[in-house]
Copies of this chain bind each other. A is one copy, B any other.
Amino acid sequence: MKTTRTQNLLAAALIGVTVFTATIARAADPLPSWNEGKAKQSITAFVEKVTKPGSPDFVPVAERIATFDNDGTLWAEQPLYFQALFVFERIKVLAPQHPEWKDKEPFASLLKGDMKGALAGGERALLEMGMATHGGMTTEQFEKIVSDWIATAKHPVTKRPYTEMVYQPMLELLAYLRANGFKTYIVSGGGIEFMRPWTEKVYGIPPEQVVGSSIKTKFEMRDGKPVLVKLPELNFIDDKAGKPAAIQHHIGRRPITAFGNSDGDLQMLQWTAAGSGPRFCLYVHHDDAKREFAYDRESHIGRLDKGLDEAAAKGWTVVSMKDDWKTIFPAEKK
C-alpha cells in the first residue's frame, strides 16, 4: 500500500508540474517586443475573439487568412528597396557581358556610380533594370543567384545582413498568428521569386504563401531537360489595386486581417476590411528616426499619406515604431 500511495503522490506531483509548466507557457507573452498599449491590445483582442470557440466572432481555421506587405512592413525599405540594391549589384556583375550598357540609360549612370542619374527615370527605369537582371535565365539559376546574394550582402547603412533588417515585433506577430491557426501570406510589390528563396527561413512563410510582382516565364526543353526561362517581360505588378487582385488570384479567399505600411497597401487593407465578420487592419508607421527611419506623407519610398487618413477614419490600428515597439531589429547573430 505504501508503495502505491508514494507512486500516486509522485504521479500527482508530476501531473502538477506538467500543468504548471503548461500554464506558464500559456501565460508567457507571445509579443514580448511590443510595449503594452492600444496597438498591442488591439491585436490580441482580435485574435482572442476570432479563435474563441462559441464566440459570435469565431472564425474557422481555414478562413484565418492573414496577409502582410513585405518592404517596410516585415523588413526595412530604406534608403531604397533592398531588391533595387540587389538589381544594382547585378548590373555591375553583368556589365562585362553588356558593353551596350555603357551608352544606355539608366545603366550608364549606374555604372558610373551616379545613383541619382540612374533613378532619374523613376519607376520605369527601375523596372527596366529589374527585367534586364531578372530575365534571360532559368528559374533555378535565378534562385541560386538570390540565395547567394542574400547570404552575404550587407545593408549599406547598418552593415547588417538584409535578413537581419527584419522587424522583431513583426516576427513575433507572424508566429503568434500562426500559433492561433492563421495562415500567413506575404503580398508584396517585391518580386515573387526574389522573396521565395529566403522567406521560409526568415519569416516561416513557405514559397506557396508568397505573392508578389512577377515577370513572365516560358517552359522550354533544353538538351532534353525541361526548364522555365524568365522572360524580360512584365507579368504583374503586385502593388496598390494589384494587391486585392493578386490575393484573389493566388489565395481565392479574402483575408480577415492585413498588415501594411504604405499607400501601396491601402487597397489590400480596404479589401480586407470590407469582408463580412470581424476584420483587423494595421499600418506600421515609420516614426522612429533614431532606431530606424522616419518617413510618411512626403516619402518617395513607402509613402503613407492616404493610408494614414483612412486608418484614422476607419479606426484601423496604427503602430508607432517609436512608442509601440521595444526593439526594432532582432539581436545581431554572431
- The answer to whether A250 touches B248 (Cβ under 8 A) is no
Taking CB atoms and an 8 Å cut-off, the chain A residues in 244-259 that contact chain B are: 244-245, 248-253
**Is A184 in contact with chain B by the CB < 8 A criterion?**
no
Q: How many identical chains are in the complex?
A: 2
Report chain B residues within 8 Å CB of A228.
244-245, 248, 271
1/0 per residue, CB under 8 A from B, across A204-225: the answer is 0011101000101111000001
- The answer to whether B219 touches A252 (Cβ under 8 A) is no
**Is A263 in contact with chain B by the CB < 8 A criterion?**
no
- The answer to whether B251 touches A207 (Cβ under 8 A) is yes
Report chain B residues within 8 Å CB of A242.
219
Number of interface residues of A (CB under 8 A): 35
Interface-centre pick from A226, A244, A251 (highest chain B CB count, 10 A): A226
Taking CB atoms and an 8 Å cut-off, the chain A residues in 33-90 that contact chain B are: 62
Report chain B residues within 8 Å CB of A241.
218-219
**Is A274 in contact with chain B by the CB < 8 A criterion?**
yes
A185 to chain B, nearest CB (A): 9
Report chain B residues within 8 Å CB of A252.
192-193, 196, 207-208, 210
**Is A327 in contact with chain B by the CB < 8 A criterion?**
no
Given contacts A226-B270, A228-B244, A245-B228, contact A253 B208 (CB under 8 A): yes
Q: Provide 14 A-B residue pairs closer than 8 Å at the C-beta atoms, listed in order of the A residue.
A: A62-B200, A62-B206, A193-B252, A207-B251, A207-B252, A208-B253, A217-B248, A218-B241, A219-B242, A226-B244, A226-B270, A226-B271, A228-B248, A250-B250
